[in-house]
Amino acid sequence: MPLPEARDIPPRIATGAFIVNSGLGKLKADAETAQGLHGMACTAYPFLEKIEAERFTRLLAWSEIAVGGSLLLPFVPTRLAGLALTGFSGGLLGLYLRVPGMREKGSLRPTQAGTALAKDSWMFGIGLGFLGAGSRRPAARHCHRHRGCRHH
């Protein structure tokens, strides 16, 4: 299994470390913090109301640790880590788009309260970039003996 390309290592480390740290912090969340996280998530995704707040927060924490870990572990293919990151960050962007008060009225511009979620759009962009990793075929090499001849 090939290691990540050199260009993918810095964003994998930076993003992975950030997400793992966030997950580790949520593992220590008190009941009030868990209620706040759960309440915001339920506003955007009502089906989450079926899950108790502390359980939701633990699941979220372990999900963040798993996504961040996939980015930090070099044996996880970049495209697979990118799929996890895109799904995770897409959920955060859903919060930004669905929770009232996160955006200026009639705009995608964040309010002061929405800036924390809007800035997570960088993770979505990195994830999309990783989804395309390794998809390019190497350029065909020209044969120097025969004009127009291509070796693959």
Dig out the tokens for 40 from the structure. Answer: 């915001």
SS3 content of the chain, % helix, strand, coil (to 5): 65, 5, 30
Q: What is the pLDDT of residues 63-96, one digit of tens each?
A: 999 999 999 999 999 999 999 999 999 999 999 9
Q: What are 24's two structure tokens?
A: 């580790």
Alpha carbons 4 and 129: distance in angstroms, whole number:
13
Dump pLDDT digits (tens) for 29-62. Answer: 999 999 999 999 999 999 999 999 999 999 999 9
151 touches 139 (CB < 8 A): no
How many Cα atoms occupy the beta-carbon half-sphere of 40 within 13 Å? Answer: 20
**What pLDDT, in 10s, does the model give residues 96-129?**
999 999 999 999 999 999 998 888 899 999 999 9
* pTM of the predicted structure, to 2 decimals: 0.82
